[in-house]
Amino acid sequence: MSGVGLSTLSGSISTVSLDVSDDEAEMVTSTKVICFSAAQYVKDFLAPPLLKYYPNSAFVEPPLDLDTAQLAKGFDVVVVFVNDYVTAEVVEVLAKGGVKMVALRCAGFDRVDLAACEKHGIKVARVPTYSPESVAEHAVALIFALNRRLHDAYMRTRMGNYALSGLVGMEMKRKVVGVVGTGAIGVEACRILKGIGCNVLAYDVRPNPKVEAMGIPYVTMDELLPQCDIITLHCPLLPSTFHLINKDSIARMKKGVMLINVSRGGLIESDSLFDALESGQIGALGLDVYENEGSLFFVDYTMYELRTRMQKWDRKFKTLLSYPQVLVTPHSAFLTQEALYNIATTVCQNIADFTLGKPLVNSVKP
Ligand code: NAD
């Protein structure tokens, strides 16, 4: 089966090609797919392969929620992303409209009511890994940027301020870095950090032999917190990890610690950050995710008129952004050409497997 190139990405990396025969590809063309939260970059990477295999596909910019779920009426499959709301109420509307599958174009499924999907016979599939390297590299990019104050230095030099005061960093070599959660992404973070000479400590409820093979010791959270110069979070958001980082755990960290979260906002209790940033308990904070990012991220608010902007104004988030030792990116850790190619391939394959009645290897169950 001939593939579809990611031609709109600069320096197209490869072509999306599914594991289906020509006959099977013919059989899936009638499947109707609607893709929510379809910003321009999504259309750029996903429209060519999706339209090739599923010509009856549609793309809508708003996220999936109770207001937009009706748009899925008459479609077989909805393609959704991290901040789409697939709540029980939304699932009911989808089911009434004839939707049979929720195809996540991400790994996390914390916003999908799996029990409601199962109740209505709606299958859920995800993209379990698409580029753990990309996410881990972004975490390390935040570490480097914060350590050498690249964000400050960039702004200063643009303004004509070439003074050095306030830009002093530290050597990364021999610094103690705690990696919390050592699955696909955490193990990549361990590999990079070990490679630049850090003393890495790991914590996970299930130790990963790949990490142990690197000679990285597993310790308890109680042992990890006070020892680390840098702590980077790579565990999923679960009831057991909700607000893992809070007033108490922050108080047990080394003074001046650098804290990095590219995982899920809910891992950190945002309210516990302000005192810690002002007292210097947290020396630097790098975030790619934020607790209440759902109604904020992935939208360009600068083009909205003031009243709309104020309706979405998140005072807590704006306060966090105002701290000089805080660097925030808009949930873009995954965003590389390689990741998008892998996401496009797996989403199209998941839909084909579902349509053809093949085993849905990436299905998610309650
Ligand atoms: P994974 O499932 O491969 O690994 C998660 C690890 O966390 C596992 O080893 C698991 O044992 C561990 N874990 C579970 N509960 C824990 C606990 N209570 N304490 C410590 N560790 C615990 O997942 P992954 O692919 O490495 O992704 C990790 C997370 O990264 C995802 O859940 C997602 O939230 C986030 N993520 C963010 C982006 C982004 O762009 N910012 C992209 C992809 C994934």
ipTM: 0.99
Residues 99 and 166 in one domain: no
Residue of 133, 293, 305, 315 marked catalytic: 293
Separation between Cα atoms, residue 205 and residue 282, nearest integer Å:
25
Instruction: Choose one of 133, 235, 260 to mutate for the ligand 1 pocket test, by most ligand atoms within 8 angstroms of C-beta.
Output: 235
204, part of any domain: yes
- Looking only at the bridges linking them, the beta strands covering 15-16 and 4-5 are antiparallel
Residues 143 and 229 in one domain: yes
Residues 195 and 322 in one domain: yes
- Per-residue pLDDT at 228: 98
Residues 125 and 146 in one domain: no
CA of 117 to the centre of ligand 1 (A): 23
3-state secondary structure of 303: helix
Is 126 near ligand 1, meaning CB less than 6 Å away? no
Q: Are the CB atoms for 208 and 187 separated by under 8 Å?
A: yes
9, part of any domain: no
Residues 44 and 102 in one domain: yes
- Per-residue pLDDT at 14: 59
Instruction: Choose one of 106, 130, 204 to mutate for the ligand 1 pocket test, by most ligand atoms within 8 angstroms of C-beta.
Output: 204
* CATH classification of the domain holding 136: 3.40.50.720
- Per-residue pLDDT at 219: 98
The total number of structural domains that make up the chain: 2
364, part of any domain: no
Residues 73 and 173 in one domain: no
CA 301 centroid distance within chain: 20
Is 132 near ligand 1, meaning CB less than 6 Å away? yes
Residues 98 and 226 in one domain: no
Tens digit of each residue's pLDDT, the chain (366 residues):
444 554 444 444 458 889 889 898 888 999 999 999 999 999 999 999 999 999 999 999 999 999 999 999 999 999 999 889 999 999 999 999 999 999 999 988 888 999 999 999 999 999 999 999 999 999 999 999 999 999 999 999 999 999 999 999 999 999 999 999 999 999 999 999 999 999 999 999 999 999 999 999 999 999 999 999 999 999 999 999 999 999 999 999 999 999 999 999 999 999 999 999 999 999 999 999 999 998 889 889 998 999 999 999 999 999 999 999 999 999 999 999 999 999 999 999 999 999 999 999 999 998
Residue 24 annotated as catalytic? no
1, part of any domain: no
Is 297 near ligand 1, meaning CB less than 6 Å away? no
Residues 80 and 224 in one domain: no
Residue 148 annotated as catalytic? no
11, part of any domain: no
Question: Nearest to residue 298, comparing CAs of 78, 82, 106, 50?
Answer: 82
- Per-residue pLDDT at 108: 84
Residues 177 and 32 in one domain: no
Residues 54 and 163 in one domain: no
Residues 264 and 293 in one domain: yes
Q: In the structure encoding, which two tokens stand for residue 82, read together?
A: 């991290």
12, part of any domain: no
Residues 162 and 199 in one domain: yes
Separation between Cα atoms, residue 342 and residue 329, nearest integer Å:
22
Alpha-carbon torsion (117, 122, 123, 126), positive or negative: negative
- Tell me the whole-structure pTM to 2 decimals: 0.90
Residue 38: which domain range? 22-130+337-356
10, part of any domain: no
Separation between Cα atoms, residue 270 and residue 244, nearest integer Å:
11
Q: In the structure encoding, which two tokens stand for residue 218, read together?
A: 């597993």
The letter for the amino acid at 306 is: L
The residue whose CA is least distant from atom 37 of ligand 1 is 263
